[in-house]
Amino acid sequence: PEVASKIAAGEVVEKPFNVVKELIENSCDAGASKIIVEVNEGGLNKIKIIDNGKGIDKDDLPLALERFATSKAATVEDVYSAATFGFRGEALAAISSVSDFKITSGKDGKAYTIACQYGKICDIKPTAAVKGTIIEADRLFENLPARRKFLKSSKSLEGEIIKLIKHFSLINPEIDIILKCNDKEVYHALSSDDTVVRASKVFNGKAFCKGVAEYAGKKVTACATLPAASDRLKRDAIIIGVNGRLIKDASLVQAVINAYHRLIPDGRFPAAVIDIRINPDIVDANVHPAKLEVRFVNAGEIFSLVNDAVANSFKGKGV
Ligand code: ADP
Ligand code: MG
Listed residue (147, 286, 302) closest to 218, CA to CA: 302
**Ligand 1 atom having least distance to the Cα of 135:** 23
Give residue 156's pLDDT: 97
Q: Is 92 in the pocket of ligand 1 (CB under 6 A)?
A: yes
Give distance in angstroms: CA of 23 to centre of ligand 2: 7
Give residue 296's pLDDT: 84
Give distance in angstroms: CA of 25 to centre of ligand 2: 6
Mutational test site, ligand 1, from 19, 47, 66, 70, max ligand atoms within 8 Å of CB: 70
Question: What are the residues whose beta carbons fall under 8 Å from the beta carbon of 78, sequence distance 6 or more?
Answer: 72, 87
CA distance 54 to 60: 13
Give distance in angstroms: CA of 186 to centre of ligand 1: 26
- Is residue 129 within 8 Å of residue 113, measured between CB atoms? no
Q: Is 133 in the pocket of ligand 1 (CB under 6 A)?
A: yes
Give residue 81's pLDDT: 45
Per-residue pLDDT of the chain (319 residues; tens, 9 = 90+): 455 665 566 667 889 999 999 999 999 999 999 999 999 999 999 999 999 999 999 999 998 988 766 555 555 444 444 555 555 678 899 999 999 999 999 998 899 999 999 999 998 999 998 999 999 999 999 999 888 888 999 999 999 999 999 999 999 999 999 999 999 999 999 999 999 999 999 998 888 999 999 999 899 999 998 777 666 657 789 999 999 989 989 999 999 988 888 887 776 767 999 999 998 777 766 666 566 777 788 889 999 999 999 999 988 777 6
Give residue 267's pLDDT: 67
Ligand with minimal distance to 24 CA: 1
Q: Is 64 in the pocket of ligand 1 (CB under 6 A)?
A: yes
Give residue 262's pLDDT: 84
Q: How far is CA 183 from CA 18, 62, 161, 191, 221, in A?
A: 20, 30, 14, 22, 34
**Ligand 1 atom having least distance to the Cα of 88:** 3
Q: Is 30 in the pocket of ligand 1 (CB under 6 A)?
A: yes
Backbone angles phi, psi at 300, to 5 degrees: -60, -40
* Cβ neighbour number for residue 276 with a 10 Å cutoff: 26
Listed residue (202, 171, 170, 169) closest to 270, CA to CA: 202
- Is residue 232 within 8 Å of residue 310, measured between CB atoms? no
CA distance 16 to 108: 32
pLDDT digits (tens, 9 = 90+) for 256-279: 988 888 887 776 767 999 999 998
Give residue 219's pLDDT: 97
pLDDT digits (tens, 9 = 90+) for 165-185: 999 999 999 999 999 999 999
CA distance 256 to 310: 7
CA distance 99 to 97: 6
Question: What are the residues whose beta carbons fall under 8 Å from the beta carbon of 316, sequence distance 6 or more?
Answer: none
How are beta strands 184-189 and 218-225 bridged, if at all?
A: unpaired
Ligand with minimal distance to 64 CA: 1
- Is residue 28 within 8 Å of residue 175, measured between CB atoms? yes
